[in-house]
Amino acid sequence: MAITEKESQISEFKSKSGLKRILSACSYSIQGFQAAWRNEHAFRQELCIVVPAMVVALLLPLPALHRLALVAVLMLLLIVELLNSALETVVDRISLERHPLSKVAKDIGSAAVFLALMLAGITWIVILLPLVKAWFTA
């Protein structure tokens, strides 16, 4: 049976199927977290804030949906930071020379992190403000 041109262009890095694919994906994810921790100051700083904040969010006397929202926006912040770090790494892999398009790509990634951070802050304020007010008026 002849291999078609499209089949011959499939990357050797393309994942396998079944359990091996799942185990490989988990391994790659762990390696990604390790690389982010080792190489990305912003990720480390955010993680040092996000982990305790998640614990606080889960312990607060709030409805489950509110706790979920507090945790979700923190997870979203980490997700966007990881994607921004990946984008910056790819840009740097292409070239370390200063280039206007490289700057635009990195600035857009930074803007995405900023928006995720603002969303997290606003969500926490909106959900916690009534709780804080109740504590001080009780």
List 5, 40, 46, 81, catalytic entry: 81
Please name the residues in contact with 40: beta carbons below 8 A apart, sequence gap of 6 or more: 81, 85
Q: Is 40 a catalytic residue?
A: no
The residues that are catalytic are: 81
